[in-house]
Each structure stands twice: as structure tokens, then as C-alpha cells.
Structure 1
Amino acid sequence: MSDLSAIDHGREAGFGDYVQLLKPRVMSLVVFTAMVGLIVAPVPVHPFVAFTAILFIALGGGASGALNMWYDADIDRVMRRTASRPIPAGRVGAGEALALGLALSGISCAMLGLAANWFAGGFLAFTIFFYVVVYTIWLKRRTPQNIVIGGAAGAFPPMIGWAVATGGISVESILMFALIFMWTPPHFWALALFMKDDYSNAGVPMLTVTHGRRATRKHILSYTILLAPFAFALALSSVGGPVVLAAAVVLNALFILGAVRIARRDDAAAEADRYRAEKAFFRFSLAYLFLHFGALLVEHSLTTFGLGGW
């Protein structure tokens, strides 16, 4: 990590800058998938406990974001997508971000343990460690497998939500994890395709940098195809049902179709239409995950009234 002492602190940080440190967009996905994991679990949770647990899981996700921004401030300054973040833009000091991230990490894990159970609290602590140490510090700058292995951090939240309710792990929570884990590489590789030289300029060995865009397109297609069986397995599990199965059929067909379109393109075609297909695939990948987990919620609601499930 490069020296951050040269950052210009000409403007005093506002509340929104500290919120941005927590990566609210990423946090929304963490909160939603953790909430689904908690709700569809077979053990009912008191509404106040559930709300409190989700709040502290969100804080844990935000802590991970702040620590990630602290460590990555040097490469964030180089990348157009991240140059306006609070630390590289000079609105928040690196030390402030580090202190905030560490404080929220300790508070969120301890309070989740007290509010729910210590297995869930420990699981949240492990997730923060995995994202910050394993992914951000160890993998991100060393291997093109960074997002493949490191993606596990973003896949843990539904397992944490499940653990809040049950105090443990099950096949169903592992399948929710697997769905996000397999979804993560094609989602981020699609972003890397149209971010052009951002990752190479920052020295991040993303697959587009180490193997080229053509190989990246093939990898996107491969992972998208491998993702589908996990979606169907989740649909056929105890938390699935006809609604989840229908969502899996439609969403995976569209996702694979988008990956095929990308795989058939070359750089000239992508440049000609300003990476329209790649951007569309990236946007759909977000909808893909939210709709899958939304289908789990709908199925659970129908099952509660004896109308869903297998």
C-alpha cells in the first residue's frame, strides 16, 4: 500500500462521505441476502431479534467496506471508477477509515453474538476477516483468481442470516452460498470488460489483464453455465418450490443467453457499440441475484399459507 500522506484534505468530510466508506450499494446486497437467509430458515426468529441481527450484519458489511477502502486507497486513486471515493478524493483520511472499520467490526460482531448467538457473531467476524485479509490484502493484487476465491466473502451473508435463526449451517444455507459464489466471477468479469484499462493501470491482476478479454468472455460463459445447477438445486431444496424453480428456469436461460452473446464478441465489436452487451449483462446480473432471493421470499410466504413449497 502506497503512502497516503499526500492526500489533500482541503474540504472537510461530511456525513455522506462516511456513509460512502461503508459501500452502501454492496451493503444493500449483504442485507438483502442475509435477511432472506434468516427469514426462510426453519426456525422462527422474534421480529426484534431479526431486525437487530440484520442491523449488525449490515454494520459488519459496512466495516468490511471501510477497511477495504483504507487498504485500497492507493489503487482507488488510479481507477476512474473509484477515484472519487472519500479517501483518494481527500475528503476522509486513511486513519479515520481504518478506525471506523475496526470499531464497526468489533461492535457488529459482539452485538450480533449477544443479540442472536455466538456462532452467528463468529461467522460475521470470519466474513469480515475473509474479505479484508484474504481477499483485499492477500488475493486482490496477487492472482487473477482474486474474485473467484475472494467472492466467498460476499456469499457468506445468507449463511449468517440462517445461522442467526438456527445457530448452525445446513444444505440449504450452503446452496444459497454457492449461488452467490458462482455468480460473483461472471458479474465482476463483465464489469472488468468495459472498465477497459482501469485494472491494468492500477496493477490489479484481473482476468482481463492477465489472460485478455477474449479468455475472460469464455470464462464468463463457463461460470454462467456452471451456476445454473446450483440455482436448480436450491429450487429443489426444502426452501425452494415452484416459484423458485420457475425463477431459476427463466433467469438462468436469460443469463446464459447473455453470456453466449458476450462470448461471441470480439474487442472491435464491443468497442463499436461501447460495450453495450457487456454492460447489459452486468446490469442483469444484479437483477438475477435479487430476483432469485426474492423468489425464495415469495416461496416462503406462500408456504406459510400452505400454498408453496414441495
Structure 2
Amino acid sequence: MSDFTANTSSPPQEATFGDYLALLKPRVMSLVVFTAFVGLMVAPQGVPPMVGFTAILFIALGGGASGALNMWYDADIDAVMKRTSGRPIPSGRVAPGEALGLGLWLSALSVVMLGLAANWFAAGFLAFTIFFYAVVYTIWLKRSTPQNIVIGGAAGAFPPMIGWAVATGGVSLESVLMFALVFMWTPPHFWALALFMKSDYDAAKVPMLTVTHGRPHTRKMILAYTLLLSPVAIAAGLTTIGGPVYLAAAVVLNLIFVKGGYDIWRRTEDAARADDYRTEKKVFRFSLLYLFLHFGALLVEAGLRSVGLGGW
């Protein structure tokens, strides 16, 4: 962690509950909760509702713990990026030590309680996920390689596997494909963002692909990853968690996403600047819908199977 000094240009403000909640990155946590919930619901073995609720709660807390640890370590970066300068630590509302303590305490609590409520395999998986995000991605990869999002994306892809492990106590092809769906989606999603947020990454000296290899290369890689993602997404529909509803959704969504990747690839920087990166922003927004609808379709298939109508 680089030397960090909170913004002292204005009188310090007392932290509110909302500031501590912001440390947990609630928007990221919502993705963790949703994909973990889907992983739990599509598993072949069911769990009692209270066990399922408790498991998802502590998976969410584990995701929040990762966010707090990330904000603690990245406070110096956050302070110079427009998008993040208002976060609780760089704004001086929360002390770095408080964020670190919260992150460590929630990490221990979430792992132990998930083990007691569900099983220790799932708890160990959660512990590894927190470690991967806080140490492998935040401390090591983020500041050292343009592959930070590619490799580090695994941290955000583990939750559906954890949800599956809560129900089954293990790993299967289906859970690996859910992981692969999120893992392959992460680079084009973040690189689309980086195309119109490049000045932030330049200022913070974060080696995002747009900084180290330039925007034209990033555009090529977005198209490449949307093409590689498509067969992974469709393959999940051919397993026991898939079915005609999911497969139809996957085909349509991936055609749209590949078209978006193609539109980004063929754009020149002059054209992008002229319309304020309209296409890149459109693809970024669609990428959020893309992931939600894939996992939503898996949930629909699980519901249909429960009444004897879904699946193959």
C-alpha cells in the first residue's frame, strides 16, 4: 500500500452508517449475492430455507469484507481517481485502520458462520475467494500487470460455485461453467469501462490494458473475449442446469454482445471522442444486463424443473 493521506482541505466529517456500508461495495455485493443465490438454487440438492438464507447472508458479508479490504489498500489510488475520490477513506470520513479492522472482522465472521451454517468446504471456498480478491488481485495483480482484470476476475466468478457448494458440498461441471461465464465476461465488461475512463487509470498509474497497450489493442481484445465468451455461455445451457429457456436467452444475448464487441473494435478514437464514447458506454451498460439475464434464465430453468416442466 502506498503512502496515503486523507483529504484535509475541509473539516473532517463524522462517519455515518452509510459510509461503513459503502466500504462493503454494495453494488458489487449485489452481484455476489445474486450469482451465489442462483448457484444455490440450481444445484441438484436442495437445502432448508433457513440454511439457504443464512448461507447467502454470510457469502454477502464475505463479499463485503473483500470490498473493505480492497478500499483500505487502494485508498491512495482512489484518492486520485475522479470516479472513486468521494469514497469514505480518501474523503477522510473513515480512517484506513477502521476499514482494515472491519474487513478482517467480517472475513473471519463470514467464513466461520458459513462453515457452521452450511459446510466447511463452502466456508473454505469463501475464505479462498476473500484471499484471492484482497491479496492476489488487490495487492499483487492490480498494480503490476495489465492482466489484472483477466486473472483477478476469478474472484468475482467464485460466488456461484460457493452457492453450489453450500448445497452439494463439492464442485461439478455445472458450477465450473457458471464460474467460467462470469470469468470470461469480466474482461470485456471492465475494458469497455476503461475505454471511457482511461484518464483515471492514467492518473492512478494502474496498468489497465488501455494504459499499457492503448485503446486500439483494447478494442481488439474486447471483441476477442466476447467471441470466446459465447460458447462458454451456450455450453452451460446444454448441462443439467440449462434448458430451452436458458439456451434461447444465451443465443440472443451473445449475438448482441458479440455485435457490441464488433462495433467497439471497428471504432476509431476520433469517432469515439466525437460522440463521447457512446458505443462503449452502451456496450458497458448492456454487459451488466447480459450477466443478470443469463443467471436469471438459469433461475427460471430451476423453477420450471421444480414443477416438472424445465430442463432437457
The TM-score with structure 1 as length reference comes to 0.99
1:57 maps to what in 2? 59
Q: Deviations over 1:137-156 (max 9, x none)?
A: 00000000000000000000
2:189 maps to what in 1? 187
Q: Deviations over 1:225-282 (max 9, x none)?
A: 0000111110001000000100111100000001100000011111010011000100
How far apart, in 2, do the equivalents of 1:143 and 1:156 lie? 21
Q: Deviations over 1:209-237 (max 9, x none)?
A: 00000000000000000000111110001
How far apart, in 2, do the equivalents of 1:4 and 1:196 lie? 22
How far apart, in 2, do the equivalents of 1:95 and 1:283 lie? 34
SS of residue in 2 equivalent to 1:219: helix
Query: Cα offset for 1:95?
Result: 0.3
How far apart, in 1, do the equivalents of 2:130 and 2:6 lie? 28
How far apart, in 1, do the equivalents of 2:5 and 2:252 lie? 51
2:3 maps to what in 1? 3
Query: Cα offset for 1:161?
Result: 0.1
On the 8 A contact 1:4/1:94 being kept in 2, the answer is no
- Alignment match of 2:226 (pick from 209, 215, 224): 224
Give yes or no for the alignment of 1:151 onto 2:153.
yes
Between the two proteins, the alignment pairs up a number of residues equal to 310
Query: Cα–Cα, structure 1 residues 76 and 5, in superposed 2: closer, same or farther, change >3 Å?
Result: closer
Query: Cα offset for 1:200?
Result: 1.1
AA aligned to 1:125 is A
AA aligned to 2:103 is G
Q: Deviations over 1:154-199 (max 9, x none)?
A: 0000000000000000000000000000000000000000003110
Taking the TM superposition and a 5 Å limit, the aligned residue runs for 1:152-171 are 152-171=154-173
Query: Cα–Cα, structure 1 residues 18 and 6, in superposed 2: closer, same or farther, change >3 Å?
Result: closer
Taking the TM superposition and a 5 Å limit, the aligned residue runs for 1:1-310 are 1-8=1-8, 10-310=12-312
On the 8 A contact 1:139/1:145 being kept in 2, the answer is yes
Q: Which moved more, 1:4-13 or 1:215-224?
A: 4-13
Question: Which segments of 5 or more consecutive residues in structure 2 lack a partner in the other structure?
Answer: none
Q: CA RMSD in A?
A: 0.8
SS of residue in 2 equivalent to 1:143: coil
How far apart, in 1, do the equivalents of 2:6 and 2:70 lie? 19
How far apart, in 2, do the equivalents of 1:247 and 1:137 lie? 37
AA aligned to 2:79 is R
How far apart, in 2, do the equivalents of 1:80 and 1:4 lie? 16
Percent identity between the two aligned chains: 75
How far apart, in 2, do the equivalents of 1:245 and 1:273 lie? 35
How far apart, in 1, do the equivalents of 2:188 and 2:105 lie? 33
The TM-score with structure 2 as length reference comes to 0.98
How far apart, in 2, do the equivalents of 1:280 and 1:70 lie? 31
How far apart, in 2, do the equivalents of 1:88 and 1:176 lie? 35
How far apart, in 2, do the equivalents of 1:2 and 1:249 lie? 45
AA aligned to 2:58 is F
On the 8 A contact 2:6/2:92 being kept in 1, the answer is no
